Amino acid sequence: MMSIIISIIVLSVIVIIHEFGHFIVAKKGGILVEEFAVGMGPMIASKQIGETLYSLRALPIGGFCRMMGEDTTGEVAERSFSEKSVWIRIAVVFAGPFMNFILALLLVICIVSTTAVVTPEITALSEGYPAQQAGLQIGDVITKINDKNIYIYDDLQMIMTENRGQAIELEVRRDNKKITTTILPKADETGRYLIGFSPLIKQGIFSKEQTNYQKASIWDTISYSFDTMVFYIRYTAMGLAKVFTFHASREEISGPIGIFQIVGDSYEAGIKYSIGAAIQNILYIGAVLSANLGVLNLFPIPAMDGGRLLFLLLEAIRRKPVNPEMEGKVHFAGFVCLMLFMAFIMYNDITKIFVG
């Protein structure tokens, strides 16, 4: 029961922060915000403050921000969304995903400030493995793999997963000098490809137990947190690209039910050790999900923020609006496809739980 409650709270906070981004920029842009709602479904409580109705809805999932003139076929007035300049409308639409990225950054800062920074520094070498044979040394700092910059150990994980079993070009920093070498991972008896240095050992990638931990300064905390948020954004974008190009397996796709299970599992795993561990797990999942929502909403999908941004950018380039009727039809078609896709994802979540 506690897992369900926490899942609802986490998802609701992420969506409400997203909607608050739209809300605050709309207010600043002079747009009349008619209602800001927490939750969905029937209204159970409300209060009019100034020109905006603040409401609490029956279903404790998400929320919404309703602006005058958001539907271009409705009333047109000076303070309508549709009557504002294209750049104000772009700012309002973009503000939702942007707030998700800010939330992800703040959550990662909370995690890092209470733990430590994990650096991509070699702290151990395995006898007879490619890393040692290539001349790498303890104290070397990994800066690039296959010409891709390495900032955090999650970067190592992602790149090594993509290149498992293939030769990689590794650049390290040693005594302020750059050293480049090519390494061919070695397969062990389980079929895992290993290179043989920490933090790249567990599952052919890394082992937290063997990673170099150092206490973070304030600047290190902010810098590392920003790099981590960027990693979440990149990783999410790559995952969504796989989904929309039909290269993702069913195990890689999760919807609301799957997310509830992930949040619940994270809480249960942490609470076995301490409340602090459970909170840290929830903050981590919250950061990942917030970055996910931000990226998803920036994809040019009709009926979502990214689709609306695409039409607004076309308007800015053409210096005249896209035909409202045509845009409405595109968004409606996108909404129908989105609902069908969500139905498939929910079915997929259920079958993964009960069938495996």
User: pLDDT by residue (tens digit) across 250-308?
Assistant: 666 777 777 778 888 888 888 888 888 888 889 989 999 999 999 999 988 888 899 99
Across 69-78, 323-332, 345-354, least confident range: 69-78
Across 122-126, 187-191, 263-267, least confident range: 187-191
Eight-class DSSP state of 251 = G
**Which CATH superfamily groups domain 116-203?**
PDZ domain (2.30.42.10)
DSSP strand pairing (141-145 vs 148-149): antiparallel
Residue type at position 231: F
- Spatial distance between the Cα atoms of 101 and 238, rounded to a whole number of angstroms: 17
- Report CA-CA distances (Å) from 16 to 91, 195, 247: 18, 44, 31
Q: Which of 240-244, 272-276, 326-330 has the highest mean pLDDT?
A: 326-330
Q: Where are the beta strands (DSSP E) in the chain?
A: 33-49, 52-67, 117-118, 141-145, 148-149, 168-174, 177-183, 186-187, 193-194, 213-214
Break the chain into its structural domains and give their ranges: 94-115+217-355, 116-203
Name 339's Cβ contacts closer than 8 Å, sequence gap at least 6. none
Residue 74: pLDDT band with limits 50, 70, 90: low
